Structure 1
Amino acid sequence: MRIAFHVPRAALLKNAPGGENHPSGDGMIIANLTEALRKRGHEVKIVSRVDARDFWQGRLPLRRLIAEEALVRGDIKRFSPDGWLVYFPRIMWPDLFGWWQHPKRYVILKGGYPGTPQRIAAMPRAWREVFTVAHRHSLQRADRIEAISPKSVRDLRAQGIPEERICFLPRAIKPWTYVPSRAEARRVLGLPQEARIVLCVSRLAPRRIENDPRPSKAEAVIDLLRAFRTLPSSALLVLVGDGRARGDVEEEAVRLNVAGRVHFAGTVEHADVVWYYAACDFFACPEKEEGNRPYQSQLEAQACGRAVVDIRNELSELTVDDGRTGLLANSLEEFAAHMLRLVTDRELCDELGKAGPAFIARSFTVDERARQIEQLLCGQPVDSTVPGMQEAEVGARVV
C-alpha cells in the first residue's frame, strides 16, 4: 500500500531521532510509526515539510503556501497513494493539502480538541477563519479518526464526529531490544548499587500560557518531590528531562530538604534513557492533567520491566495494569503510600516489574499499532488488544 503521511505541524519532523532538534514524544511516535509501516511492506511518503503555523505567524508568505500546494499536488498525483494519514491536525495547524484531493482513504491520527481557545483567538483573523474552515473540512472528510485518550474521544464527539468514525487507540512505543541489568546500568551511570531508586522522565515545563488552568509538567514533578520526602533517607530520586521550570523544581527540592537525594540527569538522548529505566527500582509521576501525562515514559518503564506508580484516572487504568504492573493511587497521599510500599517491599516491586514487558508487548507496541492503523486504512474493523478498552466509558467504537 502507498501511504501519504502528512504532519501539518511539520516542526515535529525535526524532533524525530536524527532530526535537527532533540527528540520529542510526537517526534518519536512519527518516526517509529513510519518505520513500522514500512516494515509491514508499505511505501510511506512524507507529504510536506512546511509547517502550517509559519503562515499565520508571518514566517512564510501566502505565495509560499500556493507554491507548496502546487508541488504537493504534483507529487501526490505521481505517487498515487492508496490512503492518507494526517498526524495531529488542529485549527492552528490544519491539513491544507490532503482532504481536497479526494483521497481513496483518509485517516486522522491523534485527533481531538480543535486547539487551545486562547491560542486560536491570538491568530490573525483572516488566517483563523481560513484555517478553521480547512480543519472542519478535514474532520468531515476523514473516514476514521484515531483518538489516543478518552478525553480526545469526548472532544471529537463534541465537534459532531459520529461515533462510528472514532477509533480509540492509546499511544504505543518501540521497546528496546536490549535492556541492561540494574547493576550494570547503575555502574555505567555512577549511581549507588544499594540505594532504592525512583525514576521520573518528564520535561520540566511551566504552564503553557498565562492563566492556563491546567497544571504543568513541572508542577507534577514538584508533587513527586513532596511525596518523595516521606521516603526513607536512603532512597534516591532521579529526574531525567529539562525545561524552563527546572529552577522551580530545584528550589522546591532545597525547600523540602531533599536536594541531596535528588539527581537531576538533565536532557538525555532517547536511545540512552533505557539505562535509567534499567537502573531504577520503579517509575513514578503523579500527573493529574491528561495532556501532560508522562504517557510514553510510563509505557517504556513497563516495557523495561519496571513497576510504575501513577494517579488513577480513566487513561492510567488502561495503560497500567493496577496491582500487576504497577500501583494506581486515588490521591497524592495514597501515591506517597504506594511509593513507600515499593521502596520497602523489594519483592513486590520486582514482581510488578516482571509483568510489564508482556503487558506492553500484547497491547502497546508500535508494531501492533501499525497493524491496527493498516486496518483503518483498509476500511476493516480494528481488533483491539488493549485490556479493558472495550469496557471503558469513552463512547467510541474500537472493533
Structure 2
Amino acid sequence: MFYNAHSNSLSASITLAMHILHVYKDYFPVLGGMENHIRVVAEGLAERGHQVTVAVSNTYPKTEIERRNGVAIIKAAQWLRKASTPISPMSLPLSWRVPADIIHLHHPFPPGDLLYWLRRGKAKLVITYQSDIVRQRRLLQLYRPLLTRTLNAADRIIAASPQYIQTSPWLAPHADKCRVIPLSVDTERFNQLDHAAIQSLREQVAAPMVLFVGRFRHYKGLHFLLEALPKIPNAKLVLVGIGPEEARLRDLAQRLDVGERIVWAGEVPDQALPNYYAAADVFVLPSHLRAEAFGIVQLEALAAGIPIVSTELGTGTSFVNAHSQTGFVVPPADPAALARAINVLLENPGLRAQFGANGRQRASSTFSPQRMLDQIEELYREIVS
C-alpha cells in the first residue's frame, strides 16, 4: 500500500490507495446485473486512485489479460460450465500473482472461495452476498462446508438490502459484520433518449405497454405474468431478453392464446434500453423465488420514471420498489394479483406519473453510484486500518 492523491474523485485530499482484487464468474461485456455492478465498482474505485483487478472466467477456452478504464481484467480460459459455474483452472495461478490488500468475492461462486483459501495471505476478505442458493440443492450440500468456512472468515459481508440479512439463513448468524450497501443506477443514462425510437416503439406496440427486462430464468416468474395477461385487457407485454425458459414461455403463450399480445424483443443493446423504459407504461418484475435477491432492473425502472409492479419475496425486491410510493408489491406466484396491480396503474395515468416521479427521486437519492462507492470505500478502509 502507498499514499496517493485522488486524481478524479470527489475528494482532493491525500488518501490511502489499496490493491483490490474482485473475483466472480463473468464481467462486462457479458450482460447481467451483477456483471455490470462489478464494472461500476471496479472502474469507480480505479478512478479514485486504487489499484483494481478483476479475476473472472473467459467465455471460451482462451486466457486473456487486458486493461480497460483503469481496471486490470484477468479472463481465465473456461474449460466448461456446470450448474452456472465456469470451470477455469488457470484462474488460480493467474490470481496468485495479483497483489491484494482486499479480496472481494461476489457470492455464491465456489471457485472464488477456493481462490481465497489458496492465496489468502494477509489480504482482508469482503464478500458481496448476492443470494442464497435456491435451485442447486445437491451442489449446496457439497458447497456448504466451504461456504460456511468462508463466511466465518469474512471481515465484512455486503448485502444489498436489510431484508436479505434478516431472512437469509446464511447471513443472519453473521449480522454483526454485515453491511447494507444498495446497488446503484446511473440516472443520467435514462435522460439520454432517442425520441424517434421511442415513438417507433409505441407505434409498433400500439397499446398500453407492460415491460419486462431480464434473463428468462426459472425464478423470474414469467409464466405467472403470462397467465395474468388475459386479465389485462388491451395491453401488450414487451419482453426484453432471452434465456433458457424462452421455449416453454412461447409454448405457454400459445396455449393461453396471448401470443399476439406479446412482443419478443430479444436482447437489446445497452444504449437502446432506456428507450424501452421510456416507451413503457408499467414495468413488472414477477419473480417468485428468493434467487431474485434485488432486481437491478427495478433500479433502471426507477431512474426511467415508470411505476413498478413487483413481488414480496422477503428479499431486496420490495426494498427497491417502495409499495404505494414507487409502485405496488404483490404476493408471488399470483397471476390475479399481478393483473389487478397492473390494471390499477394502466387505468390511472395520474398515479403512474406520481409513482414515476417518486421513483426518479428514490433512484437519485438512495441508489446513486457515488453513494455506493463512498460506502464501499469506507468499508474497505475500516477493515484495512
Q: TM-score range by the shorter chain?
A: 0.7 to 0.9
Whether the 8 Å contact between 2:131 and 2:292 is mirrored in structure 1 is no
Counterparts of 2:323 and 2:115 in 1: how far apart (Å)? 42
Whether the 8 Å contact between 2:283 and 2:308 is mirrored in structure 1 is yes
Whether the 8 Å contact between 1:285 and 1:294 is mirrored in structure 2 is no
- 1:386 alignment partner in structure 2: none
The percentage of aligned residue pairs carrying the same residue is 23
- 2:355 alignment partner in structure 1: 352
Matching residue within 16, 28, 32 for 1:24:
32
Q: Which moved more, 1:157-166 or 1:274-283?
A: 157-166
Question: Relative to structure 1, is the Cα distance of residues 224 and 3 closer, same or farther in structure 2, using a 3 angstrom cutoff?
Answer: same
- 1:147 alignment partner in structure 2: 159
DSSP-derived class of the 1:292 partner:
coil
- 1:85 alignment partner in structure 2: 104
Q: Which 5+ residue runs of structure 1 have no aligned equivalent?
A: 208-215, 381-399
Counterparts of 2:193 and 2:115 in 1: how far apart (Å)? 48
Question: Relative to structure 1, is the Cα distance of residues 252 and 281 closer, same or farther in structure 2, using a 3 angstrom cutoff?
Answer: same
Whether the 8 Å contact between 2:303 and 2:364 is mirrored in structure 1 is yes
- 2:376 alignment partner in structure 1: 373
Question: Relative to structure 1, is the Cα distance of residues 99 and 111 closer, same or farther in structure 2, using a 3 angstrom cutoff?
Answer: farther
Kindly state the Cα deviation for residue 55 of structure 1 after the two structures are TM-superposed. 11
Report the AA paired with residue 320 of structure 2.
T
Counterparts of 1:50 and 1:132 in 2: how far apart (Å)? 26
Counterparts of 2:81 and 2:265 in 1: how far apart (Å)? 37
Kindly state the Cα deviation for residue 201 of structure 1 after the two structures are TM-superposed. 0.8
Counterparts of 1:340 and 1:55 in 2: how far apart (Å)? 41
- 1:284 alignment partner in structure 2: 284
Aligned pairs for 1:181-330 (under 5 A) are 184-189=196-201, 191-192=203-204, 195-205=207-217, 207=218, 216-217=219-220, 220-233=221-234, 235-292=235-292, 295-314=295-314, 315-330=316-331
Matching residue within 337, 340, 356 for 1:337:
340
Question: Relative to structure 1, is the Cα distance of residues 344 and 109 closer, same or farther in structure 2, using a 3 angstrom cutoff?
Answer: same
- 1:38 alignment partner in structure 2: 46
Whether 1:117 aligns to 2:137 is yes
Whether the 8 Å contact between 1:236 and 1:261 is mirrored in structure 2 is yes
Counterparts of 2:328 and 2:204 in 1: how far apart (Å)? 25
DSSP-derived class of the 2:115 partner:
coil
Give the alignment's Cα RMSD to 1 decimal.
3.4
Whether 1:4 aligns to 2:20 is yes
Q: Deviations over 1:45-64 (max 9, x none)?
A: 23554489969999666xx5
DSSP-derived class of the 2:53 partner:
strand
Q: How many residues align?
A: 343
Q: TM-score, normalised by structure 1?
A: 0.74
Q: Deviations over 1:190-239 (max 9, x none)?
A: 6348621110112123x4xxxxxxxx32xx11211222221222x22111
Question: Relative to structure 1, is the Cα distance of residues 152 and 237 closer, same or farther in structure 2, using a 3 angstrom cutoff?
Answer: same
Kindly state the Cα deviation for residue 289 of structure 1 after the two structures are TM-superposed. 1.1
DSSP-derived class of the 1:46 partner:
strand
DSSP-derived class of the 2:183 partner:
coil
Question: Relative to structure 1, is the Cα distance of residues 293 and 97 closer, same or farther in structure 2, using a 3 angstrom cutoff?
Answer: closer
Whether the 8 Å contact between 1:325 and 1:352 is mirrored in structure 2 is yes
Report the AA paired with residue 105 of structure 1.
K
DSSP-derived class of the 1:203 partner:
coil
DSSP-derived class of the 1:109 partner:
strand
Whether the 8 Å contact between 1:72 and 1:97 is mirrored in structure 2 is no
Counterparts of 1:136 and 1:159 in 2: how far apart (Å)? 10
Q: Deviations over 1:280-303 (max 9, x none)?
A: 011013222121367011111111
Counterparts of 2:173 and 2:301 in 1: how far apart (Å)? 34
Whether the 8 Å contact between 1:198 and 1:282 is mirrored in structure 2 is yes
| Higher normalized contact order (CA 8 Å, seq sep 6+, divided by chain length) | 1
Matching residue within 361, 366, 385 for 1:363:
366
Question: Relative to structure 1, is the Cα distance of residues 113 and 341 closer, same or farther in structure 2, using a 3 angstrom cutoff?
Answer: closer
Question: Relative to structure 1, is the Cα distance of residues 155 and 337 closer, same or farther in structure 2, using a 3 angstrom cutoff?
Answer: closer
Counterparts of 2:196 and 2:79 in 1: how far apart (Å)? 45
Whether the 8 Å contact between 2:306 and 2:353 is mirrored in structure 1 is yes
Kindly state the Cα deviation for residue 35 of structure 1 after the two structures are TM-superposed. 1.7
Report the AA paired with residue 227 of structure 1.
A
- 1:163 alignment partner in structure 2: 175
Kindly state the Cα deviation for residue 352 of structure 1 after the two structures are TM-superposed. 1.0
Q: TM-score, normalised by structure 2?
A: 0.77
Report the AA paired with residue 239 of structure 2.
L
Q: Which 5+ residue runs of structure 2 have no aligned equivalent?
A: 1-16, 56-73
